[in-house]
Structure 1
């Protein structure tokens, strides 16, 4: 009997430990406003049927990995039928790609994710379709076809000055937007490339189709929200007000179905262009965060990022106080973070420290938590996840021969779990700290105003009666800093950082978090 009582006590202690962070606070789910979202490319995640392609059942099998990491939601890159590997050119908006599984399996995935308190967000690609979509195939048949006006068509002589334009934008290296289908004198518009013809949102029938698609995924399938691809390009760049108005209408239609629907937009531009989208897209990706983080390391100038983040947040606050700042350190379009940081392990661990101690709702790209590698072209940034050593990895996808992430270059997850200093265990620790400290998750950002060595990044996070001071050394030379008055409880330290009397000492690429 006594033995059973001891076992119960131990079990209670273990449960309590699992529910509290390093600071002793309870782990909380702050999604969507400040929670952590994990981005997954199903094709490369986990393969359960041996065809070399990751699948929905594989994600279900690995949901506990997402939960263990500390993520509150999953964003899936495109899952709908498509002729391409990346699936950003949709042929059917109300199904999943057969390589991935069935719609019923996806509904089961949502059910299992929700059991674990993990939300599901899917990529919604509505700026364009595939040129193999039934709508586009119909639109090509004649100028009188009912679907002709679903796309943007023009006679060759009316667009002669635009056919061979040589403009490259931040989010597209396509140098030609008007495309010849190979017959007649009519061209069609495709911002990204000829295989992705743009839909015509001046046509109310197109808008109604899109709203119906959104309702389908929210009502019938049960997703929690959408990541809206290419949100800046619904209308041409010289019609930004029309873009803003469309997204306000889209939000209204989706909230009528699901009042708490999560909408995060990809508006790849500077804050002045991004901010006016907030009334329609309450969450927007912060591209400035990604690029300024890398710039801070290149210049060994710590406060560049802290000042930029403060500037962006204050700018958005002037427009609305109901915005979600979707921060990220890498994604499926940029080289893997470890490559961008010169394959320096200390920098990679510190970069996640920065992301998780800054304001915002951070996104993590699958595989970053095990230090996966990858460079352009894009398919090599999206290589298969390494769950175990190759000989034991029954679920490793094989759809592509990897160039960068292999057993020889990346330690698989199964091995990292047993290594106290592994990337995975580091990611899990810092995410847990964020999830268990309301100041780090929800607090406002205040910059350190005292004298500071150039490589140091120092800021306060303040929420109600919680005050936290965060410092990072972005150089390979040890730095020192005087401890602000009243800050005496170390919540987290990395890279040998610590305190000595009244000073904080920060070895190369180290971080420290101190609470008041």
Structure 2
């Protein structure tokens, strides 16, 4: 396997609006990121993925871009960005920008021109279709509710938007549009950024026949995803992007790819194919989805999670590369989703989850606040929520599909705003995030859960993450070792090995608050063992043939 810096990196995602406000307007900003770079250096991360900071009317929290070469006023200026980039590099931290090119804002000059007339030079920068019998061209439903088609009276045609109607999809069939995108990417790379996280990048190639979507009983709109996910020209477009915009720079690239399979993942990330370094798949975060997706969540099984992770671990073991994550700006808090956010088990389960993820093969992602043990928030009023997806789901699903109690259960468990409450820096008002009024309320538990508290406690989750990151830097086996699952059918214990030449790691994680027993398989032979890390104080000399595990216990041994 080829060794590269990005395979060996730990990436930290910053959602700027909620990270740190430097000027008291209640909105996190670039100078707030710069201020906290020493904190991130102490944690030990290698790369920051910065969610969009481009000019935007903010319909979808910056994922609707009106100028790809300028900074949103809320976040500061281009000078602020340049200073952040320079200081990050001085701290030995690389910067990965968010590339949002499946769609733009409807306030982007390209779209403003495109909608003026059918013969406008920018018309084909977007996807326009005539009505069919006075109706939208297809029955596809949009990700944020409603139809994917919006009628524009000025020209009497519909434009496509897979997300909000203020996020019209760009037409990647148009070579002029693609050239503009590549020029924009080179603009940022020439500034010195180190790569891109690419938003829903496997949506950019559509089936240009635009067939009708599958009809699902009880749903108003059809499912059109098979006609825009991993479309017919996607590999052609990504190879062209790599050649035109990436190949002359030493970059890290990750594609966000809902609906991607392992076999497709190999095609996207295989080193010889010259497309991307790694992909975000969504298989595990869909566990427990009900009839209405994440809004009526059901119980999930550990065996299901292990099956998904193992499939990707083995599938990309020799070709391609995994990106590893529990949470991000679109997912609920890791501890609340996968662990136990009760006062008794919050920190210990958080350490267990970190152990499991960071010991897998791939590049681990830490979402801001994960390293201090932040949890989901339970706002009682819909007026406290800001996320367009959450607000639209509340509006759509309380219309007879789910009761108010049911929809709030789903919101409390899965809303994207769970990840977007401000980072809890200390126990002062508004958690030290701002001296103003925060754009979204702070989680009330900030007085107990905050960065200042964990920095002062050597046994805290922060220092545990710091140790995990250092272990990765010191042990090639954690990066490059092969993976094998143990105890496949166990519903409480996730155990696996990592193997590199004559060295083996044994990873044992208890995903329950019970006390199951781990039994070492007879196939694992060793003459020496070393306890590398554990989330409880344990006797390092204890036999590992049979271990009665404590609730949410995690241990990692080096075997020789």
What's the TM-score bracket when you normalise by the shorter of the two chains?
0.7 to 0.9
Equivalent in the alignment of 1:282: 277
Equivalent in the alignment of 1:480: 518
**SS state of the match for residue 477, structure 2?**
helix
Question: Which of these residues, 266, 269, 276, is aligned with residue 256 of structure 2?
Answer: 266
Question: Which of these residues, 330, 334, 342, is aligned with residue 333 of structure 1?
Answer: 330
Does the CA-based 8 Å contact 2:140-2:148 persist in structure 1? Answer: no
Equivalent in the alignment of 1:6: none
**SS state of the match for residue 232, structure 2?**
helix
Equivalent in the alignment of 2:98: 123
Deviations 1:165-220 (A, max 9, x none): 2546xxx243411101243421111111210001111111101100100110001x
Segment of structure 1 superposing worse, 205-214 or 381-390: 381-390
Query: How far apart are residue 369 of structure 1 and its match?
Result: 1.3
Is 1:343 matched up with 2:386? no
Equivalent in the alignment of 2:496: 459
Segment of structure 1 superposing worse, 175-184 or 482-491: 482-491
CA-atom RMSD in angstroms: 2.8
Equivalent in the alignment of 1:224: 194
**SS state of the match for residue 441, structure 1?**
helix
Query: How far apart are residue 473 of structure 1 and its match?
Result: 1.9
Does the CA-based 8 Å contact 2:331-2:415 persist in structure 1? Answer: no
Segment of structure 1 superposing worse, 237-246 or 140-149: 237-246
Equivalent in the alignment of 2:246: 255
Does the CA-based 8 Å contact 1:35-1:441 persist in structure 2? Answer: no
Query: How far apart are residue 104 of structure 1 and its match?
Result: 2.2
**SS state of the match for residue 264, structure 1?**
strand
Segment of structure 1 superposing worse, 126-135 or 334-343: 334-343
Any residues of structure 2 matched to 1:23-34 within 5 Å, and which? Answer: 31-34=5-8
Query: How far apart are residue 132 of structure 1 and its match?
Result: 0.6
TM-score, length-normalised on structure 2?
Answer: 0.78
- Counterpart CA distance in 1 for 2:32 and 2:70 is 18
Equivalent in the alignment of 2:227: 238
Equivalent in the alignment of 1:508: 551
Segment of structure 1 superposing worse, 467-476 or 267-276: 267-276
Equivalent in the alignment of 2:19: 45
- Counterpart CA distance in 2 for 1:231 and 1:494 is 37
Query: How far apart are residue 35 of structure 1 and its match?
Result: 1.7
Deviations 1:446-468 (A, max 9, x none): 2337x985422221112234321
- Counterpart CA distance in 2 for 1:147 and 1:167 is 26
Query: How far apart are residue 135 of structure 1 and its match?
Result: 0.8
1:213–1:411 distance in 2 versus 1, CA, 3 Å: same
Does the CA-based 8 Å contact 1:267-1:274 persist in structure 2? Answer: no
- Counterpart CA distance in 1 for 2:202 and 2:474 is 35
- Counterpart CA distance in 2 for 1:140 and 1:452 is 56
Ranges in structure 2 where 5+ consecutive residues have no aligned partner: 207-225, 291-297, 377-411
Question: Which of these residues, 429, 445, 459, is aligned with residue 483 of structure 2?
Answer: 445
Question: Which of these residues, 140, 146, 160, is aligned with residue 189 of structure 1?
Answer: 160
Question: Which of these residues, 285, 298, 323, is aligned with residue 320 of structure 2?
Answer: 323
Equivalent in the alignment of 1:404: 443
Does the CA-based 8 Å contact 2:493-2:516 persist in structure 1? Answer: no
**SS state of the match for residue 107, structure 1?**
helix
1:241–1:231 distance in 2 versus 1, CA, 3 Å: same
Ranges in structure 1 where 5+ consecutive residues have no aligned partner: 1-28
Any residues of structure 2 matched to 1:72-91 within 5 Å, and which? Answer: 72-84=46-58, 86-91=61-66
1:64–1:291 distance in 2 versus 1, CA, 3 Å: farther
State the structure with bigger RCO (CA 8 A, min sep 6), 1 or 2: 1
Segment of structure 1 superposing worse, 454-463 or 39-48: 454-463
Segment of structure 1 superposing worse, 430-439 or 263-272: 430-439
Is 1:101 matched up with 2:96? no
Aligned pairs, how many?
475
1:380–1:461 distance in 2 versus 1, CA, 3 Å: closer
Deviations 1:4-31 (A, max 9, x none): xxxxxxxxxxxxxxxxxxxxxxxxx974
TM-score, length-normalised on structure 1?
Answer: 0.85
